[in-house]
């Protein structure tokens, strides 16, 4: 839901911040690693029962997650490698945070509530996998009512009001399951549509005229400009 409605606006607002951070010499990878460290600290704080401190570290986890892409764009280092690292760090961050909540429940409750954050984490991984797999097949699986940004907000609400943490996780579990279904249906409909077969084209040969080929550098520049649009 966040990606579809506000992602573009937020990214544009972060551009000057990313440029300022880049001028200090901080790279996008350093910011990504900082987010992972903050998530680890949040997991320890939550697991040991200090939910207020866990909320603080949760916020400090979200800030680098929002800024690493802006720094990469400002420095001109946005790449497939960086996107891969960012995606892996997101999954690791989710595992650390929900693992901390499970640790907290294992120490404070005697029932099976410890499995609740594990179930949320499993569904969150499924939602992420649906998008990654769909994009690898050429489909669009973005959107849904409970994406990663929404999970951060809802988890923060549960940490702020500790007595509501269990109920908050139940809401997150249901809405994440709805998101997984939404993405599955979206990709299923796209994959079910008949794609037009490619039309064969005839090659015309002209023996009297030779086509002038542009230099390789110019062709690559033109292709890159077209792709950037």
Q: Which residue reads 């001109």 in tokens?
A: 76
What is the end-to-end Cα distance of the chain in Å, rounded? 24
Catalytic status, residue 140: no
CB atoms within 10 A of CB 153: 14
Give the span between the Cα atoms of 65 and 105, in whole angstroms: 26
Q: Which of 68, 90, 94, 140 is catalytic?
A: 90
3-state secondary structure of 205: coil
* Listed residue (117, 181, 183, 119) closest to 155, CA to CA: 117
CA distances from 176 to 7, 122, 147, 148, 183 (A): 19, 10, 7, 10, 11
List b or e across 42-71, with b for residues whose CB sees 16 or more CB atoms inside 10 angstroms: bbbbbbeebbebbbbbbebbbebbbbbbbb
Cβ(168)–Cβ(150) under 8 Å? Answer: no
Token pair recorded at residue 173: 């579990």
Q: How far apart are alpha carbons 107 and 101 in whole angstroms?
A: 10
Place of tokens 């979206």: 186
Question: What are the catalytic residues?
Answer: 90
């Amino acid at each position: 839901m966040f990606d579809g409605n506000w992602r573009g606006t937020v990214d544009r607002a972060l551009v000057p911040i990313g440029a300022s951070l880049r001028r200090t010499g901080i790279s996008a990878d350093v910011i990504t690693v900082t987010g992972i460290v903050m998530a680890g600290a949040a997991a320890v704080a939550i697991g040991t029962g200090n939910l207020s401190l866990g909320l603080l570290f949760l916020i400090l986890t979200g800030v680098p997650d929002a800024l690493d892409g802006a720094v990469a764009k400002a420095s001109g280092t946005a790449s497939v490698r960086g996107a891969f690292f960012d995606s892996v760090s997101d999954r690791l961050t989710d595992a650390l945070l929900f693992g901390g909540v499970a640790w907290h429940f294992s120490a404070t409750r005697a029932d099976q509530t410890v499995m609740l954050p594990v179930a949320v984490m499993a569904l969150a991984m499924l939602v992420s996998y649906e998008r990654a797999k769909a994009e690898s097949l050429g489909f669009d699986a973005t959107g849904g009512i409970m994406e990663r940004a929404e999970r951060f907000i809802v988890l923060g609400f549960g940490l702020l009001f500790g007595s509501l943490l269990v109920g908050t996780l139940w809401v997150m579990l249901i809405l994440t399951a709805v998101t997984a279904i939404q993405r599955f249906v979206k990709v299923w409909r796209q994959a079910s549509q008949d794609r037009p077969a490619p039309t064969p084209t005839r090659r015309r040969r002209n023996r009297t005229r030779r086509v002038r080929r542009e230099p390789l550098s110019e062709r690559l520049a033109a292709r890159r400009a077209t792709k950037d649009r």
